[in-house]
Amino acid sequence: MVISLKYLPHLVKEALGLIIPFFFFLGKRYPLVFGTPKSSKSIIGKSNPLWQYILDHSLREHPILKKLRLLTADHPWSKMMVSCDQAQLMANLVKLIKAKKVIEIGVFTGYNTLNMALVLPDNGRVIACDINEDYIKIGKPLWKEAGVEHKIDLRIKPAIQTLDELLASGEAETFDFAFIDADKESYNEYYEKCLRLIKRGGIIAIDNVLWSGRVLKPRKDDLATQSIHHLNEKLHRDARVNISMLPMGDGVTLAFKL
């Protein structure tokens, strides 16, 4: 069948008219697979009224923590900050297990570092690991303003190095809680080292385990997604921990060391 070239623009228009609504439908029907990643990285997007409902009916945020969240919201990388409802869950867990020593891998502007420091006892410690001091400069004055700066031990170097130093200085099995939230390619190493540093009964929270839905179809060349997906598979059968994978924020797995 020969189609005259003069009909080509019309045919292309017709085809697009069918294809675009089809992908729109897939995006709505299967948002985690076909939808565009939400900037909030939340399963319930920040434009969803339920998100506001959750905050209105559960969030109890310290005023200085709120100040840091709003300050970070203006940063070009603000979407890296953990969601406030998830931070509150972690603070509640830290309190529940009466944690004294915690590790944060990936500090950014220090929202969750402050969140955890606020609920630790006065002799508690957050070992805060990051490689970028510029981000931290934003939050550091607020750590001071909140009166918890003395609980935060900031280590500016690759987190693997800090974890190795803690292990080498005999601090294995002395930590209560760890939050893993830095470069995704190193997640397995972070998990293994944290597992050695955490006591029995301690908790490791692993962030972004759903990675805006990309874990459903990890591409071979997407190392971050591959790494998260492999750790998710490993954790599912890891007899050293009990786990819960929560659809909160961008997905968070809680691993309870047995």
Which C-beta is closer to Ca ion: that of 208 or that of 253?
Answer: 208
Residue 106 interacting with ligand SAM (CB under 6 A)? yes
The Cα-based distances of 128 to 3, 107, 140, 156, 168 in angstroms read: 66, 6, 12, 8, 17
| Helices within the chain (DSSP H only) | 8-29, 31-34, 49-58, 63-73, 84-96, 111-119, 133-145, 159-168, 187-197, 223-236
CA–CA gap between residue 114 and residue 226 (Å, rounded): 31
Residue among 46 and 236 whose Cβ is closer to ligand SAM: 46
Interaction pattern, residues 172-211, with ligand SAM; x per rule: CB under 6 A: ---------xxx----------------------------
The binder of 191, among ligand SAM, Ca ion, none, by C-beta within 5 to 8 A per type, is: none
Three-class secondary structure of residue 203 per DSSP: strand
172 or 243, CB closer to Ca ion? Answer: 243
Choose, by CB under 6 A, the member of 54, 71, 80, 224 that binds ligand SAM. 80
Under the binding rule (CB under 6 A), the answer on residue 227 touching ligand SAM is no
Binding partner of residue 183 among ligand SAM, Ca ion, none, CB cut-off 5 to 8 Å per kind: ligand SAM
Q: Over the range 139-154, which residues count as b (16 or more CB within 10 Å of their CB) and which as e?
A: bbebbeebebeebbeb
CA distances from 152 to 112, 146, 160, 183, 189 (A): 11, 12, 18, 21, 23
Q: Compare residues 39 and 242 and give the one whose CB is closer to ligand SAM.
A: 39
CA 241 to chain centre: 20
Site string for ligand SAM, 117-156 (x = CB under 6 A): ------------xxxx--x---------------------
Stretch that binds ligand SAM, among 74-82, 118-126, 146-154, 192-200 (CB under 6 A): 74-82
Strand partners, 125: 101
List of residues contacting Ca ion (CB under 5 A): 181, 207-208
